[in-house]
Amino acid sequence: MRIAVIGTGYVGLVSGACFSDFGHHVVCVDQDEAKIEALHRGVMPIFEPGLDQLVGRNVRDGRLEFTTDLPSAVAEAEAIFIAVGTPSRRGDGHADLSYVYGATEEIAAALKRPAVVVTKSTVPVGTGDEVERIIRKTSPDAKAWVVSNPEFLREGAAIEDFKRPDRIVVGTEDAEAAEIMREVYRPLYLNKAPLLFTSRRTAELIKYAANAFLATKITFINEIADLCEVVGADVQDVSRGIGLDNRIGPKFLHAGPGYGGSCFPKDTLALLKTSEDYQAPLRIVEAVVSVNDTRKRAMGRKVIQALGGDARGKTVGLLGLTFKPNTDDMRDAPSISIVQALEDAGAKVRGYDPEGVEQARPLMPNVEFCATPYEAAKEADAVVIVTEWDVLRALNLDELRKTMRQPVLVDLRNVYPPQDAAEAGFRWYGIGKPGQNEVAA
């Protein structure tokens, strides 16, 4: 099949590369000339493990192209995926759909043959209706079906998620559109990925409901971690104990500094705005958003407490800055709130991250960025593990300790067993652990 993907951000680039790897001919479109030029040179605009090799292979084999010329890409396409950004609208939290509607107008004007127009971007309920209205108004004679096909890609594991999905959700009630979408995903037949057909509005809501539920699991276990600390329980054992229940499952039950990234923060806000518009309150989601915001700010106070309650004039090394490992995404990362709290308290902050430094620089202008974790820890009064990158899971704790001014390790991901840290001479502070959340050296 011939497919056009509008947008070469995270979702568009990964989707386009994977579709081409299935054997489809894919043209990815972006109005950013510099980004397209970089892609022609094999330079990826995002960090995602394996993406550069996947793109390079399919470009060489002639199945994947990049262009700024939307009309030419759309004219030949049987399926056109809209994968542009839908950030939170400044000031009110609604999803900003201006990029979606702008792309729709261009697509409608360029349609030359029957095609499905697929919203791959995360959009509020009813967006597909407006996309269809724009197409009908712009090109009344065009034969186009508007379909919702939300993405469920985890940053850092997006290629695997696309090729071996838990499910593929397709929102359409038109038989012809459904048949085209079956053909698009036919290469996944052998993987037996469930293909779930629903109404368009149902598909749009499934995406938001899924992300809100996962955000709720994260927030729930973070609050349980706080309770563990004061009652003398271990949150990791609690997580295992409840996660073994098949009705609950173990995923997203790892206590930490709160969720961030490109999806959960904006999607929970957008879902709340939809619930307000339709006067159907979502009290649980409201609480999740509020608790998570408080959680990230509280992590800065936790570090200050580990420093004896006074951070003025002290140096703190932050290890891991991105909101999760295997990505360079800094959007709503907990590290941003932690840095702000530490700097407000008079501390100097050094930071280390394997991939996120360039994204972090404009967000943390006063942070001194370091090339290694040990450099970030040099002469520091505390080291804080914020993101559980693999490179931070096997640090030489003895060597780390020797570089520091004070032996304080704040482990916001519970990467290291408390006793291991104590044996290396650290005062260890973790998440949801008994004993005043400290193991003395």
> What's the rounded Cα separation, in Å, for the pair 233 and 164?
37
Closest CA to 349 of 322, 323, 369: 369
H helix or E strand, kind and range, residue 16: helix 10-21
Q: Residue 253 class from Cβ within 10 Å (0-12 exposed, 13-18 middle, 19+ buried)? A: buried
Tokens of 276: 């307000």
H helix intervals, 22-97: 33-40, 51-60, 70-75
Among 18, 28, 228, 263, the active-site one is 263
Give, to the nearest 10 degrees, the angle between helix 51-60 and helix 10-21. Answer: 50
Please say whether the beta carbons of 15 and 81 come within 8 A: yes
Provide the token pair at 173: 């009630």
The span from the CA of 94 to the CA of 340, in Å, is 26
Separation of alpha carbons 29 and 33, rounded Å: 10
Decide if 263 is catalytic.
Answer: yes
Phi/psi region, residue 425 (left: phi>0; alpha: psi -120 to 50; beta: rest), is left
Which residues participate in catalysis according to the annotation? 263
